[in-house]
A and B are shown apart, each in its own frame.
Chain A
Amino acid sequence: MNKIRVIARIDVKNEFAIKGIHLEGLRKVGNPNEMALDYYNNGIDEIVFMDAVAAYYDRNSLSELIQRACADVFIPITVGGGIRTIDDIKNALKSGADKVAINTKAVQDPDFISQSSKIFGSQCIVSSIEAKAIGENKWEVYTDNGREPTGKDVLEWAKDVEKLGAGEIMLTSIDKEGTKRGFDIRLYQNVATSVLIPVIASGGMGQGDDAVQLIKNVNIDAVAVASILHYKLESIQKIKNTLIENQIKVRL
């Protein structure tokens, strides 16, 4: 088994890091660059910056933030939110991002995933999927940061994006997001057994033990954490220690 990656997810609105519940009710929680540097110095494995309102306003504005992060944070950086064109990806990579997370545009135009993965390589294209439960073992794909239902089935869409060439899936449970009540384990079980590309679980982690419960039940590759770090509920080291105590391998 791979080492589980512990990824800090920093949602950004204008120049502020923000956090909501169910992707709504966004509150400012700090300066995204200062937070990224702090998490890097304390042993986080990766950083994801998501522009929370970019898709909504049809823009993409994290270049400066990425450039600043890149000067002192030497771990993989993913940027998402409002990625709509090949040029957007070029700009993100040029600014220093290693990967881009694509959601809304991919749903509107699935071919965008195959085009971009051919040009930049699959390793660079993360399919961001926002899932909302609509029944027993059934989830619907949402876009625009949890605002728009699409009628698409999450499992089918996950298989589609894999075929189209996405290198990873970042799967956010809208139901659990920001609740700190643990992951939607059934969602990840269903998706992780349907695809062979790495899956990042995002939404609901409130303590290290939530990750343990998820990883014991699901062949997951990475967990994204936000609230725990932003509100300083547990340190990165404590989360990793909890994983190690449960025989889960992590980067030290």
Chain B
Amino acid sequence: MMIAVIDYGIGNVRSILSAFENQGANVFLTRDKNKILESDGVILPGVGAFSHGMDSLNKHGLVDIIKEYVESNKPFMGICLGMQMLFEESEEFGVTKGLGLISGKVVKLPTKDSQNEKLPHVSWNELNSGKIQWPNTVLENIKEGSDMYFVHSFVAQPNNESNVLSTTEYSGYNFCSSVKSGNIYGCQFHPEKSGKIGLKIVKNFIRMCKE
């Protein structure tokens, strides 16, 4: 069982690799087409700006590889910016096209009082139920209200509520904090930085890759 973490030159990937290693996975960093396609699970990491992330994926020819991989129905998970890039477009620094694997767009986190509310949203925050039940997903056996670590200014807005796996509230606004569309998962929070509960999510993903 092999899990590939997509290497497109951005972000802190070491902690993702160590979280998966810690949970017993055989995990490696790669941008090689065959290695990605042969993997039992793929992680798309990412921090920073949407346009920079998409540019880097394009530059390394990874967009088509990702699309080909997800066709296989094997587990795929985008983390943070990696989740945002699953969608069709983002309004960060003008409109940028995303991978378009899930219908919806990425917008600046709407806050009730934009004058006084802090962005980025850097905080531990709670996972609440979405439209999808958690058993048999990466959130299996995670308690509602569990704290996860968030650091972001933009959020994904899926067009279909049926893709919303969890929501999280910030400044009176409930945003989509994780998403699922078939074998494709995305989480806005960082499971690899969310302590022991985060590691449980990593473990759930690994288990799916074995199935």
In the bound assembly, the distance between CA atoms of A56 and B1 in angstroms comes to: 48
Are A121 and B48 closer than 8 Å at their CB atoms?
yes
Are B122 and A96 closer than 8 Å at their CB atoms?
no
> Which one of A27-35, A71-79, A150-158, A175-183 contacts B?
A71-79
Is B147 at the interface (CB under 8 A from chain A)? yes
Q: In the complex, what residues of A have CB within 8 A of residue B153's CB?
A: 122-123
Q: In the complex, what residues of A have CB within 8 A of residue B117's CB?
A: 196
Q: A3-B147, A75-B193, A124-B48 are in contact. Are A70 and B14 (CB under 8 A)?
A: yes
Q: How distant is A173 from chain B, measured CB to nearest CB, in Å? A: 21
Are B14 and A95 closer than 8 Å at their CB atoms?
yes
In the bound assembly, the distance between CA atoms of A152 and B71 in angstroms comes to: 57
Is B22 at the interface (CB under 8 A from chain A)? yes
Q: In the complex, what residues of A have CB within 8 A of residue B11's CB?
A: 93
Q: In the complex, what residues of A have CB within 8 A of residue B21's CB?
A: 71
Type the 1/0 row for A94-128, where 1 means its CB is closer than 8 Å to any CB of B.
11111000000000000000000011111110000
Using C-beta atoms within 8 Å of the partner chain, give the interface range for chain A: 20 to 34
Q: In the complex, what residues of B have CB within 8 A of residue A93's CB?
A: 11-12
In the bound assembly, the distance between CA atoms of A2 and B125 in angstroms comes to: 8
Within 8 A of A (CB), among B137-158: 147, 149, 151-153
Are A197 and B118 closer than 8 Å at their CB atoms?
yes
**Which chain B residue shows the least CB distance to A2?**
B123
Which of A74, A121, A221 is B193 in contact with, Cβ under 8 Å? A74
* Total A-B contacts with CB atoms under 8 angstroms apart: 94
Are A5 and B48 closer than 8 Å at their CB atoms?
no
Are B118 and A196 closer than 8 Å at their CB atoms?
yes
**Which chain B residue shows the least CB distance to A98?**
B12
In the bound assembly, the distance between CA atoms of A123 and B121 in angstroms comes to: 9
Are A74 and B15 closer than 8 Å at their CB atoms?
yes
In the bound assembly, the distance between CA atoms of A71 and B19 in angstroms comes to: 8
Is B124 at the interface (CB under 8 A from chain A)? yes
Is B195 at the interface (CB under 8 A from chain A)? yes
Q: Which of B14, B117, B122, B193 has the most CB of A within 10 A?
A: B122
Type the 1/0 row for B170-200, where 1 means its CB is closer than 8 Å to any CB of A.
0000000000000000000010111110110
Within 8 A of A (CB), among B1-57: 11-12, 14-15, 18-19, 21-22, 47-49
Q: A96-B12, A168-B122 are in contact. Are A74 and B199 (CB under 8 A)?
A: yes
Q: In the complex, what residues of B have CB within 8 A of residue A95's CB?
A: 14
Q: In the complex, what residues of B have CB within 8 A of residue A197's CB?
A: 118-120
* Given contact pairs A74-B196, A167-B151, a sample of 19 additional A-B residue pairs in the complex whose CB atoms are under 8 Å apart: A2-B121, A3-B125, A67-B14, A70-B15, A71-B18, A71-B21, A71-B22, A74-B22, A74-B195, A75-B194, A75-B195, A76-B149, A76-B151, A96-B15, A96-B18, A98-B193, A124-B48, A221-B118, A221-B123
Would you list 10 pairs from A and B whose C-beta atoms are within 8 A, ordered by A residue?
A71-B21, A71-B22, A74-B19, A74-B193, A74-B195, A74-B196, A76-B149, A121-B48, A122-B153, A221-B118
Q: Which 8 A-B pairs give the minimum distances between C-beta atoms? A: A121-B48, A251-B124, A96-B14, A2-B123, A251-B147, A123-B151, A93-B12, A3-B124
Q: Which residues of A contact B (CB under 8 A)?
A: 2-3, 5, 40, 45, 67, 70-72, 74-77, 93-98, 118-124, 167-168, 196-198, 221, 251-252
